[in-house]
Amino acid sequence: MPRYRITIEYDGTPFVGWQIQAKGRSVQGCLTEAVRRFTGETVSVRGAGRTDAGVHARGQVAHFDLVRDWEPFKVREALNFHLKPDPMVILDAAVAAPDFDARFSATGRGYLYRILARKAPPALDRNRVWWVPRPLDPAAMAEAATHMLGHHDFTTFRAAGCQAASPVKTLDRLDVSVVGEEIRIEAEARSFLHHQVRSIAGSLKQVGEGRWTPADMKAALEARDRARCGALAPSRGLYLMDVMYGAL
């Protein structure tokens, strides 16, 4: 029974998130249905990251097993055909090792958060950026971000309902850059807590507005108290960019 690894790009706007739920269209559900239409098999499609409603992906990874041995290019083309008209495409498909697991074999994940800081609202990127109609200070945001790097208890920046066994994570990268009128926050870690990136982005925005200093960001982290977190950034600005693996 061959195992297939697929890389997926999607606009999360119309979906209730990655995971199949009782109501609404999910990314996982649409993929499962596309595989069924292609092969006649009902499979379990397992993803590397359980993105929330409205969160986008440029490099989500998933795996599933099939009874028949299909050429990977056929899997990619057939799934793309059956996924239409949903805003989702398979970028790549490959045969994976029998013990490959899209989630548990991952050695790292990379996220991007986009903030559009300008007076006029977005037209083309309406559901793909967080619009902030005022200038932000990216230098202050970058300074504040340095306090997040490394091995910490991120209780302040996790969702109340987060199911992770521990709030302790190692944040390997948290960069703040400017591209035109856009401020981009890029984060990398082996794994993240639920809402961790959006919580950090929301707090960095407060630094950018001058409502917090970089020292306030550090104090919020050290407080280990969800109540000390800034407002949660909206899901529309978040992208799962990449999932990293060791030698496969």
The confidence band for 246, taking pLDDT boundaries of 50, 70 and 90, is: confident
Classify residue 225 by its DSSP letter: -
pLDDT reading at 133 higher than 90: yes
Identify the band that residue 161 occupies on the pLDDT scale cut at 50, 70 and 90: confident
Task: Give domain limits for the chain.
Answer: 3-96, 108-245
3-96 and 108-245 share one fold: yes
pLDDT tens-place string over residues 55-75: 999 999 999 999 999 999 999
- Could you write out the DSSP letters of every residue in 87-116? SEEEEEEEEE-TT--TTTTEEEEEEEEEEE
Which CATH entry fits the domain spanning 108-245: 3.30.70.660, 3.40.50.1980, 3.30.750.210, 3.30.470.10? 3.30.70.660
Active site residue 52: yes
Of the two residues 246 and 123, the one the predictor is more confident about is: 123
Residue tagged active-site, from 52, 65, 99, 137: 52
Using alpha carbons, select from 122, 121, 204, 125 the residue that is nearest to residue 157.
204
Nearest to 112 by CA among 124, 122, 125: 125
CATH of domain 3-96: 3.30.70.580
